Amino acid sequence: MFNKPHFILITLLLTMPLTACGGGSQTSQVTTSSNRLDTIKQRGTVICGVNGEVPGFSFVDENGQYSGLDVDVCRAIAAALFDDPEKVEYRKLSAQERFPAVQSGEVDILNRNTTWTISRDTTNGMEFAPTIFYDGQGIMVKTASGVTSMEGLAGKSICVLAGTTTEQNLADQMQKRGVTDYNPVTFEDVDALYAAYQEGRCEGVTADRSQLVARRSIIPNSNEHNVLDVVLSKEPLGPAVKNNDSAWFDAVKWITFSLIQAEEFGINSQNLATFENSEDPNIRRFLGLDDKLGEGIGLPNDFSARIVKHVGNYGEVYERNIGQPLGLDRGPNKLWTEGGLLYSPPFR
């Protein structure tokens, strides 16, 4: 048996390589071995928390197939990691479940039409990746009601989802307009929210404008419902991960930027192969043909090419999920080169 001094000496000798100045590579290995990116690689699938009830963003059909802008971002992550966009496990989460699901590790990433706010970024311990959809809150009413403004909802009931920024925004805007005699009717579930509105339990329903347009598209006699020409708030929507895991956050961040940068370069799923012989150094770095940008964030060097191959660029994703089926103009969701807000830092 070792005596106490010998035991202490042996312990120090064993731990010195991990803490000494010359042990940089070993320190890196220790600090990154427990991050979520490594966990996902070992598991072989990405667990993505979504809504599942909003057409155009995340919607599950009768066959259990998921589609939408949020879903395609999850597919882009799987494509980047595994060269297979189907290696995703989707979890439907309510507004109340979403943040605890990230904090507990139940999901790897939250992509559930979630607004980036200061309290969610700090108090809730979330880390928000680049915004993938710039939205604003609106209100929908039945055309027959004759309501054309928020003031016209005085004395009326408004359906709103509980536990969301939507509820507070509604209160703030009504107070600002001096409308104090309205009745907010809260619901925990999106389907229940719109069912109540359709049944006439409230005269109006409020949510992100894109969501209102999406849900109106599946309401019977959709032309009998009107989204008012008012914007109550700023709603930057995008994926979020748990705080204090820079490796996973960096991967999600640059995967998201890849969708935007691919569109700016004019690279899409149909013409990707034509860029393989490009002499543009920016494009060659982006596609992983030169340099090793992927290795720096724990991804394959061709991760951007994989995303475009399997999912497309942002413009393709937007058009198939929102533009064509919902008829929503891109507006602020255009590239910065076209007057929009979408902008990617350089891939170099």
Consecutive 10-residue averages of pLDDT for the chain (348 residues)? 41 37 34 77 98 94 95 98 98 94 97 95 96 97 95 96 91 94 93 95 96 93 95 96 97 98 98 96 97 96 98 98 94 98 97
**Domain CATH number, residue 304:** 3.40.190.10
> At a CB cut-off of 8 Å and minimum separation 6, what does 211 contact?
54, 57, 113
Residue ending a domain, among 164, 199, 233, is 233
Residue 108 is assigned to a structural domain of this protein:
yes
Three-state secondary structure call for residue 343: coil
Give the pLDDT of residue 1: 44
Q: The pTM is what?
A: 0.85
> At a CB cut-off of 8 Å and minimum separation 6, what does 154 contact?
179, 181, 182
CA–CA distance, 260 with 253 (Å, rounded to integer): 11
Buried b (16+ CB within 10 A) or exposed e, 262-281: bbbbebbeeebeebeeeeee
Q: How many domains does the chain have?
A: 2
Whose tokens are 């890196």? That residue is 28
Query: Which of the 8 DSSP states describes residue 143?
Result: G
116 and 171 part of one domain = no
Residue 16 is assigned to a structural domain of this protein:
no
Residue 14 is assigned to a structural domain of this protein:
no
* Element of type H or E holding 240: strand 240-242
Q: Are 74 and 49 in contact (CB under 8 A)?
A: no
Which amino acid type is present at position 129? Answer: A
245 and 317 part of one domain = yes
CA–CA distance, 182 with 174 (Å, rounded to integer): 8
Give the pLDDT of residue 163: 81
> At a CB cut-off of 8 Å and minimum separation 6, what does 206 contact?
137, 138, 139, 140, 158, 159, 160, 166, 169, 170, 212, 232
176 and 47 part of one domain = no
Residue 326 is assigned to a structural domain of this protein:
yes
Residue 273 CB-half CA count within 13 A: 1
Residue 228 is assigned to a structural domain of this protein:
yes
Give the pLDDT of residue 192: 94
166 and 221 part of one domain = yes
Residue 2 is assigned to a structural domain of this protein:
no
Give the pLDDT of residue 164: 87
Pull the structure tokens for residue 106.
């139940």
Residue ending a domain, among 216, 233, 250, is 233
CA–CA distance, 58 with 149 (Å, rounded to integer): 29
127 and 147 part of one domain = no
45 and 66 part of one domain = yes
Residue 170 is part of which domain span? Answer: 137-233
181 and 251 part of one domain = no
Give the pLDDT of residue 160: 97
Residue 8 is assigned to a structural domain of this protein:
no
Query: Which of the 8 DSSP states describes residue 205?
Result: E
42 and 111 part of one domain = yes
122 and 142 part of one domain = no
Residue 115 is assigned to a structural domain of this protein:
yes
85 and 57 part of one domain = yes
226 and 295 part of one domain = no
200 and 274 part of one domain = no
Residue ending a domain, among 175, 205, 233, is 233
Residue 94 CB-half CA count within 13 A: 12
Give the pLDDT of residue 82: 98
